[in-house]
Structure 1
Amino acid sequence: MVASGAVLMGCMALGLVGWFASDAGGHGTTRDAIRVGADGWLLAHGATLHLTTGAVSATVTALPLGLTVLCAYVAHRLGAWAARTSAVEDAGTVLLGTVVMSGLYGVVALVTALLAATATAESSLLRAFAGGFALAFVGGGSGILAGSAHVVDWRGRVPETGRAILKGALAATLAMVAAGAVLLAVALVLDLGSAANVLSRLHADTSGGLLYTVLVAAVAPNAALLSGSYLLGPGFAVGTGTVVSPSAVVLGPVPAFPLLAALPSEGSPSPLTSALVAVPVLVGALAAVLVVRRFPAYGFEVGAVRGLGSGVLGGVLLTVLVMLAGGAVGPGRMADVGADLVPTFVAATVAMGVGGLVGGVGATWWSRRR
């Protein structure tokens, strides 16, 4: 209950603060402000939000991944605390604790969706429960497993090659997210004036600027992941009929949001931009080198398998994260925001897999030479 309630209360408190800071409570009521915070918390768990205003309706499906990561982190830490302070006997106890924690979390999300529903804003009840259950199962379950490592030694039961591939895949995925974040930051710095113009047109005061900062932080992981899909080559869409990729940029009107100032200009990008597609290959090679250093391999076939497996599995994980980063963010053309998953999957597994294969063989050769 604490894992779900802690962040939920924080979101509702932020909604109240934003309501008072924006117009001193001149519009709406306290309950409306609390509902906004609750709806944001539900969106972070994958509960679609259906909005209706007169004849206009929209469905928001995009997850604010920054808030999602925060919820998962809180569940992980509380799960680890629960395991350390409880009598964990065996793997069955760990599984039972994970299921109970996930079920309670899902019930809290379901009740929140019921209480926050109005005629103009309603969250999906089934997705609220399923999303809360899944987040607690992954976040809280990993925490419980980590906190009970002294009882359940799962690492000793997994072959070394499996552990090497898993850690290499995680390293490759995180490195691609970091590369996307660097690309996003550089693009924003190069076009910082556009972001400032967006804020000025919104007439945001100090409190409004702080609220926009919180909102940007909530969706910054989404932008970093879509930047990663840009590095892969297929790119992503910011509205129906648009594409942002190293080979072509086709844009229409976009919302007034500061992060969108990082979008490149329409037309054919510079030929140097095409060189960015080498980044996933280099990332795969780097992850394979780290794997061979952590798990020394003196046979070329072992190094090749671990490097290739790390790259391919990293590509799969990255594709899943890119899928979570997209979704509908408004009515009309803004119902299509995100990357095309099939080309992204192919590009990620091939580029990172090839890089991992080369890096694994090269690192093994260096180990044998030394």
Structure 2
Amino acid sequence: MTSLLTPPSRTTAPTAAGRPLARPLWLSAAFAGAVAAGSVLLACMAVGLAGWFAADAGGHGDTRDAIRIGADAWLVAHGSGLTLAGATISVVPLGLTALCGYVALRLGGWARATSADEDGAAVALAAVVLAGVYGVVAVVTAVLATLPTAQPGLVQSFAGAFLLALVGGGAGLVRGEAGVLAGRLPETAVAVLRGAAGIAVAVLAAGAVLVTVALVLDIGTGANVLSRLHADGPGSALYTLVVAAFAPNAALMGGAYLLGPGFAVGTGTVVSPSVVALGPLPAFPLLAALPSPGPGAAWAPALIGVPVLAALLAGALTVRRHPTRDWGSGALRGLGAGVLGGVLVAVLVHLAGGAAGPGRMADVGAPFPDILTAAVVTLGGGSLLGGVLMTWRLRRTTDVVPGDEQDPATEDTIRL
């Protein structure tokens, strides 16, 4: 009787949030790659279509041209470049790139959360599948958007899209295990990675503040630029989206200015704390933040101290978060974070530049060797000093520092 009342047991797949997980991870990753690429692509096409109607109510061209412009913008955000009547556009709108990466990250996390729990090899395969599907969408889009007068690079489209999806989607796939992965690394390595990321964010934030202050102080020039564009309400909204797409580029150029070498806005130009030499500029609102041509202001070179202070604070916080009383470890954590952060900043500044049009506008951005040298020296030195100062402070305390390499009793005898 009891056996008749007891239901037979059934084998079920692992569950998440009470739902059975029968779908393999690679299949979810493939779907996530397609959705990550398609969702932002369709949004860009919609913006292009709306801008076409807002510009002249559809009086020129047709809907295919407007949709193609949106597709080209999405491709350029992945580093495809665009050849227009002999001119090359290679400047990447990093704001749109960051949006694409964020969508890939979230969908990578969704794929992992809604699929069967698998091992590390399966997760790596899923990341490659997600990036591969994303890259295929980019190549198909590039082929369909190619015209004799507008040609995105096919190889660059796939390579840029694959890399972005691999980094963003892969981070989403392993985001839930970030703590476990960090626990497998040496303490110094984790400190250096976190410190480098913090330093890069600090320089980006400082550059953004500099650009914002410059725009506010010269808001009249920006208003004149908008008036010359004859933009109405919808047109102004479209320009706002374009400015937002290139806002990270402007912030990174501000960071290059603070580091000393500065940047160029056209061949033969330079914008730096010591000198500003400009030529004719296109009508773009963000360019209103550029200083007036001529020798730099007497106080401008003092701005080079801003990245040093930011790196010093970041180095101190790095050692405070990963404490040690050993001079060598503290110096290594501070210096490593500063040097790696400097390399990261230099790479980001390099990505923010490129060709922005024909003629002299083919040279926009900062010279990579100069920025790399300045960033490594400035940020590395500041972070090293911050790490040493925090180590000195920790050596003066009587508390036991977690993860300290030396015996606490020995430390008390050498405490300053």
TM-score normalised by structure 1 residue count: 0.97
CA positional deviation for 1:115: 0.4
Distance 1:104 1:69 in 2: 19
The equivalent of 1:350 in structure 2 is: 377
Indicate yes or no: 2:284 matched with 1:257: yes
Q: Distance in 2 between matches of 1:355 and 1:184?
A: 23
Q: Highest Rg: 1 or 2? A: 2
Distance 1:235 1:88 in 2: 49
Shift in Å at residue 84 of structure 1?
1.4
Which whole-Å CA distance do the structure 1 matches of 2:140 and 2:217 have between them? 45
After TM superposition, the structure 1 = structure 2 runs for residues 148-187 of structure 1, keeping only pairs within 5 Å, are 148=177, 153-187=180-214
Q: 1:200 aligns with which of 227, 246, 258?
A: 227
Question: Partner of 1:158: helix, strand, or coil?
Answer: coil
1:327 to 347, 350, 354: 354
Secondary structure at the aligned position of 2:295 is classed as coil
Q: Give runs of ≥4 in structure 1 deviating > 6 Å.
A: none
| C-alpha contact 1:84 1:148 (8 A) present in aligned 2 | no
Q: In structure 2, what residue type is equivalent to 1:213? A: T
Counterpart mapping for 1:236-315 below 5 A: 236-315=263-342
Task: Quote how far apart the aligned CAs of 1:64 are.
Answer: 0.3
Candidates 89, 93, 104, aligned match of 1:75: 104
Whole-angstrom distance in 2 between the partners of 1:283 and 1:148? 30
% identical aligned pairs: 62
Candidates 44, 47, 68, aligned match of 1:14:
47
Offset from partner CA, 1:312-363 (integer Å, 9 cap, x none)? 0000000110011000010000000000000100000000000011000001
**Distance verdict in 2 for CA 1:329–1:310, change over 3 Å:** same
* Corresponding position of 2:217: 190
Which digits, 9 at most, give the CA deviation of each residue in 1:5-59, with x for residues without a partner? 010000000011111111110001000000000000000000010111xxxx211
- Report the Cα offset of residue 149 of structure 1: 5.1
**Cα distance between partner residues in 1 of 2:147 and 2:137:** 18
Distance (whole Å) between structure 2 residues aligned to residue 96 and residue 280 of structure 1: 40
- Quick one: distance in 2 between partners of 1:162 and 1:295? 10
- 2:371 & 2:393 partners in 1: Cα distance? 32
User: How far did 1:224 drift?
Assistant: 0.3
Aligned to 2:26: none
Q: Does 1:24 align with 2:53?
A: no
Aligned pairs for 1:44-59 within 5 A = 44-52=77-85, 57-59=86-88
CA distance in 2, matches of 1:99, 1:139: 11
Paired residue secondary structure (1:154): helix
Deviation at 1:280, TM superposition (A): 1.5
- 1:117 equivalent to 2:146? Answer yes
Which residue of the other structure, out of 257, 264, 285, is the alignment partner of 1:230? 257
Unaligned 5+ segments in structure 2 are 1-33, 398-416
CA RMSD of aligned residues (A): 0.9
